[in-house]
């Protein structure tokens, strides 16, 4: 049993298929992979008799991504295409997609097919067993560099230690959520978002689905080291004030060393020992200056986030929406029932 799994006695199995299914897929410059993604989504949707919607969010792409999404939304009734006013970032695009969904269960996956849509039926089986969140946990990560794997390894373990929140290791945003979990997640509107951490924070009954993560189907990664580092900073500053406490400890330790050095200087003066002070003076100045700048930097990260949150700007702005799959399906059902 994983850290987030719930005992069977605490869950209530559903023993039925979901009434409706929503998929959220953020897209950024994914024109090379979209045709294959569409084909595999068509195969997935054909397996279900219940209404299925696929919300494809174009996060300000600069290639032909939006043209393809708009075309797909006209040709496939299950596709809803959303175009953001500009690039707001992967985590915000996921949030936008969740806000657009209406399904009883919602699945988040990436467009690059490293999150295989074919695993969704297995996730739904676990949902039927009473789990509110089923997250994909990677056994093997194909096509990723050693540096990226090591960074992910170090981040999850460091985050768990300093934040005190158990985010399942070796996971991304690939997960299925029950509607009540989605509603809880939607109530969290902080600007700097770490979705997988927020899903862990809301709790409910969660379970891992182990899988081998394949290589990217086409194109290049949209999460280079720089973006991964910024996401790690957002995650840490959103869930803990441990860096502020570390800054305090650093200040106390530096002050203690400074006072100790004062006593040493006084003792040497009394003993009549003197030496050129340029080297020690410069070392002290550089040490104190470095500590002060580090502390100010940590404070600045938190103050900047408070400032941005205080502005109360919307998390994102939508340019265009095409398609309303579940509305159409519900309307057809009403017609069939004579309502």
Listed residue (91, 97, 303, 299) closest to 198, CA to CA: 91
**Helix or strand run (H / E) with residue 270:** helix 242-270
Q: What is the pLDDT of residues 281-318, one digit of tens each?
A: 666 676 677 777 777 777 777 777 776 767 677 888 98
Q: List Cα–Cα distances, 132 to 188, 195, 198, 220, 320, in angstroms.
A: 17, 16, 14, 33, 31
Give the number of other Cβ atoms within 10 Å of residue 189's Cβ. 11
- Nearest C-alpha neighbor of 65 from the set 112, 29, 110, 41: 29
Number of helical H runs and strand E runs in the chain:
11, 8
pLDDT digits (tens, 9 = 90+) for 51-98: 989 999 998 888 889 989 988 988 888 889 999 998 888 888 999 999
* Beta carbons of 82 and 57 less than 8 angstroms apart: yes
Flag whether the pTM goes above 0.85.
no
Q: In this predicted structure, which of 71-85, 112-126, 159-173 has the lowest mean pLDDT? A: 159-173
The predicted structure's pLDDT at residue 222: 57
326: which 2 tokens? 């579940």
Best CA proximity match to 30, nearest among 77, 75, 81, 106: 81
């Amino acid at each position: 049993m994983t850290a987030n799994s719930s005992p069977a006695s605490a869950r209530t199995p559903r023993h039925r298929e979901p009434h409706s299914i929503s998929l959220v897929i953020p897209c950024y410059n994914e024109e090379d992979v979209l045709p294959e993604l569409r084909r595999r989504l068509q195969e997935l949707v054909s397996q279900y008799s219940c209404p299925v919607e696929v919300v494809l969010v174009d996060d300000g792409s600069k290639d032909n991504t939006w043209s393809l999404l708009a075309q797909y939304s006209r040709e496939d009734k299950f596709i809803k295409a959303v175009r953001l006013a500009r690039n707001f970032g992967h985590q915000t695009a996921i949030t936008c997609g969740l806000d657009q969904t209406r399904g009883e269960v919602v699945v988040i996956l990436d467009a690059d097919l490293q999150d295989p849509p074919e695993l969704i039926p297995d996730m739904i089986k676990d949902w039927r067993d009473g789990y509110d969140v089923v997250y994909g946990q990677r056994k093997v990560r194909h096509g990723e560099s050693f540096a990226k794997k090591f960074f992910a390894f170090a981040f999850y373990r460091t985050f768990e230690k300093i934040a005190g929140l158990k985010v399942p290791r070796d996971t991304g945003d690939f997960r299925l959520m029950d509607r009540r979990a989605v509603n809880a997640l939607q109530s969290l509107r902080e600007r700097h978002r770490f979705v997988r951490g927020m899903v862990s924070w809301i709790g409910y009954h969660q379970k891992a689905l182990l899988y081998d993560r394949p290589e990217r189907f086409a194109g290049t990664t949209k999460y280079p080291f720089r973006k991964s580092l910024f996401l790690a900073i957002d995650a840490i500053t959103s869930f803990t004030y441990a860096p502020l406490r570390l800054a305090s400890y650093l200040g106390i330790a530096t002050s203690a060393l400074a006072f100790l050095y004062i006593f040493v200087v006084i003792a040497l003066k009394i003993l009549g020992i003197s030496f050129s002070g340029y080297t020690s003076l410069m070392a002290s100045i550089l040490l104190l200056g470095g500590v002060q700048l580090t502390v100010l930097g940590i404070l600045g990260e938190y103050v900047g986030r408070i400032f941005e949150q205080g502005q109360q700007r919307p998390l994102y702005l939508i340019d265009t929406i095409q398609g309303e799959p579940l509305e159409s399906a519900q309307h057809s059902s009403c017609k069939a029932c004579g309502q």
